[in-house]
């Protein structure tokens, strides 16, 4: 991507209506546009980050047998009435609408009911199970107070997976596989060391759940961490009974602030029974299906990563999710400089390395400031000086100073065999 062709621009002005550092930086860097409180549009660079996070999640969900689908945003009232969750007294953050004929519809909040109801068509025998279905799509929740930028929105991108098992043992085995997959996701995103599997309340889904909490000063949750076992307990269920059940010693736990970036819930047969979805076992008897729910906020992760790694110069993206691996800054319009920069750009893109090519006619200082604000992992400069010396100027995003490197050194650093 050439910056001269990108319609977005960076800004030095801090948005007055945003208190979260992550949201301020994402807006200043041109990654997102605020439509209203809790609702953001993702601009080209922001969408690339979002897509990169989603792809990591997709790979891990496929790796444990997930089938990806795309569910509708409009949902029928009747299936939610069967489980008792249409009532605003039970679920108070619905967005609802009506057709012209007066028929009430829900706007996608979660998908236990729609996916379970869909399986009437596909489940009859024990041979049809287990099934693992997931989607990556927008969710809508009528939050009383949307805050912290992407960390708590009214519209957000989420991965939700649902498991359907023949018995509790089969469910439990997959549940642990999903938990392990979640930890792999966080490790690939660079936050594995800061993420703890956390015992918590199940809210509107079940009695208890497992959350995945990332330590952060901006977190809304208080958790108590066992550093040795790398597990934690949410303050909302922090009782002696729970500690005994988990085998934790209160004196060995450390209080921390954290951001929830995922959760998994055991659902039992609550939803499958309510919607009348059963299977026939080997003896011909009707049996209940044991379900689980596995949620992960992709746009929330984007906000968390922006907050977690930022410094005083701007965003600092992990390579796995950055919108580009290399920020190529061309200084001046000397034909030799243009030729060398264009050749490097073509070489890198041919090697499937994402490059953000700053070919704009602006001052070097502005290019360097933008490179830092955008948070691209590697900055490479082509100038009169580098052309005359036969080198490139290379700098990692967090490094204090740039280095002069040969073409061979640069390509090796970027993972290309010279």
pLDDT tens figures, 271-328:
999 999 999 999 999 999 999 999 999 999 999 999 999 999 999 999 999 999 999 9
Q: What is the tens place of the pLDDT at every residue in 110-140? A: 999 999 999 999 999 999 999 999 999 999 9
What pLDDT was estimated at residue 408?
92
What pLDDT was estimated at residue 91?
Answer: 86
Collapse the DSSP code of 138 into the 3-class scheme (helix H, G, I; strand E, B; otherwise coil) and give the result.
strand
Q: Which residues contact 199 (CB under 8 A, 6 or more apart)?
A: 208, 210, 211, 231, 232, 233, 234, 237, 242, 246
The one-character DSSP state at 147 is: B
Strand partners, 221: 258
Confidence class of residue 417 from pLDDT cuts 50, 70 and 90? Answer: confident
Q: Would the pLDDT of 60 be above 60? A: yes
The string of pLDDT tens digits covering residues 149-203 is 999 899 999 999 999 999 999 999 999 999 999 999 999 999 999 999 999 986 6
- Which residues fall within 8 angstroms of residue 298, CB to CB, at 6 or more apart? 50, 53, 54, 57, 136, 156, 157, 158, 159
> What percent of the chain has a predicted confidence (pLDDT) above 90?
89
pLDDT digits (tens, 9 = 90+) for 376-396: 999 999 999 999 999 999 999
Mean pLDDT calculated for residue range 240-264: 93
Q: Report all structural domains of the chain as residue ranges with CATH numbers, in order of start.
A: 3-309 (3.30.930.10), 326-413 (3.40.50.800)
Please compute, for residue 277, the number of CA atoms within 13 A of its CA located in the half-sphere on the CB side: 29
Inter-CA distances, 265 with 118, 176, 199, 295, Å: 20, 11, 11, 9
Q: What is the pLDDT of residues 328-376, one digit of tens each?
A: 999 999 999 999 999 999 999 999 999 999 999 999 999 999 999 999 9
136 CB neighbour count, 10 Å cutoff? 22
């Amino acid at each position: 991507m050439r910056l001269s062709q990108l319609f977005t621009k960076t800004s030095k002005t801090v948005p007055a209506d945003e208190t979260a550092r992550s949201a301020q930086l994402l807006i200043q860097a041109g990654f997102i546009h605020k439509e209203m409180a809790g609702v953001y549009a993702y601009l080209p660079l922001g969408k690339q980050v979002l897509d990169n996070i989603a792809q990591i999640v997709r790979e891990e969900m496929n790796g444990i047998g997930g089938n990806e689908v795309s569910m509708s945003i409009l949902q029928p009232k009747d299936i939610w009435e069967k489980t008792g969750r249409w009532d605003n007294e039970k679920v108070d953050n619905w967005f609802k609408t009506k057709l012209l004929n007066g028929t009430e519809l829900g706007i996608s909040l979660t998908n236990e009911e729609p996916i379970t109801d869909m399986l009437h068509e596909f489940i009859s025998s024990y041979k049809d199970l287990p099934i693992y279905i997931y989607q990556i799509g927008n969710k809508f929740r009528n939050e009383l107070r949307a805050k912290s930028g992407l960390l708590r929105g009214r519209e957000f991108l989420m991965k939700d997976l649902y498991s359907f098992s023949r018995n509790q043992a089969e469910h439990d085995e997959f549940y642990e596989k999903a938990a392990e997959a979640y930890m792999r996701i966080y490790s690939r995103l660079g936050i594995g060391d800061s993420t703890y599997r956390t015992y918590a309340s199940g809210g509107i889904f079940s009695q208890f759940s497992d959350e995945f909490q990332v330590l952060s000063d901006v977190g809304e949750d208080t958790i108590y961490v066992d550093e040795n076992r790398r597990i934690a307990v949410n303050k909302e269920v922090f009782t002696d009974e729970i500690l005994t059940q988990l085998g934790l010693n209160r004196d060995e736990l450390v209080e921390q602030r954290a951001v929830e970036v995922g959760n998994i819930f055991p659902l039992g047969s609550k939803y499958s029974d309510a919607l009348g979805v059963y299977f026939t076992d080997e003896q011909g008897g009707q049996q209940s299906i044991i379900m689980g729910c596995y949620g992960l906020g992709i746009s929330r992760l984007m906000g968390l990563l922006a907050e977690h790694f930022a410094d005083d110069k701007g965003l600092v993206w992990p390579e796995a999710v950055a919108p580009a691996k290399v920020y190529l800054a061309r200084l001046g319009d000397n034909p030799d400089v243009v030729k060398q920069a264009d050749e490097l750009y073509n070489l890198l893109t041919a090697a499937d390395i994402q490059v953000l090519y700053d070919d704009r006619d602006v001052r070097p200082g502005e290019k360097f400031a933008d490179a830092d604000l955008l948070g691209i992992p590697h900055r490479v400069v082509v100038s009169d000086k580098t052309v005359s010396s036969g080198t490139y100027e290379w700098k990692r995003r967090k490094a204090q100073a740039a280095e002069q490197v040969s073409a061979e050194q640069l390509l090796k650093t970027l993972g290309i065999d010279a």
